Amino acid sequence: MMIHFALIWKIWLMGMYDNLKISTSKLPLSDSEKLSVGENPDWQTKDFECILSTAEITDEGKLKYLTFRYDWDENAESALGKLTGKKGALVTKDEKWIDIEHHGYVNFYTSVNNIWYEFNAKFTDGRLVIIERVET
């Protein structure tokens, strides 16, 4: 039984992440790379709670995080419900953006047209200092 738990734990650790929003104009990319990447691709990070929430680096250089709680809604429709004919789904409630007074790095990454993009954003006292590209 321990092997099964370890495998499930590894899959969970590898699969969960949070999303990150940032204006492409803040990234150290060439103009052609910025056009290729687009305004806000699906950036991911594992530097927060890894519950599929969202963080944002604002244009002002602040770091924000979307907090919420899950609740069961008996009347909500889901993709599974469409297949089974049953109603009910998890929904998010009490969504609130909070400022994070982060001191350190936030790593984020994505793949666009099979090209890997990865960055480290350095924060001091909750303010963005620099974003550096991670060369792979």
| Backbone dihedral angles phi then psi of residue 32, each to the nearest 5 degrees | -70, -35
Parent domain of 38: 2-133
Question: How does pLDDT run across 70-107, given as a tens digit for each residue?
Answer: 899 999 888 878 888 888 888 889 999 999 999 999 99
pLDDT of residue 80: 79
pTM of this prediction exceeds 0.85: no
Question: Region 121-135: what's the mean pLDDT?
Answer: 96
Give residue 43's pLDDT band: very low, low, confident or very high (50, 70, 90).
Answer: very high
> Residue 70 and residue 35: Cα distance in Å, rounded?
36
pLDDT at 11 over 80: no
Number of structural domains the chain divides into: 1
Give 33-59 as a 3 state SS string.
Answer: HHHHHCCCCCEEECCCCCCCCEEEECC
Give residue 15's pLDDT band: very low, low, confident or very high (50, 70, 90).
Answer: confident
pLDDT at 8 over 60: no
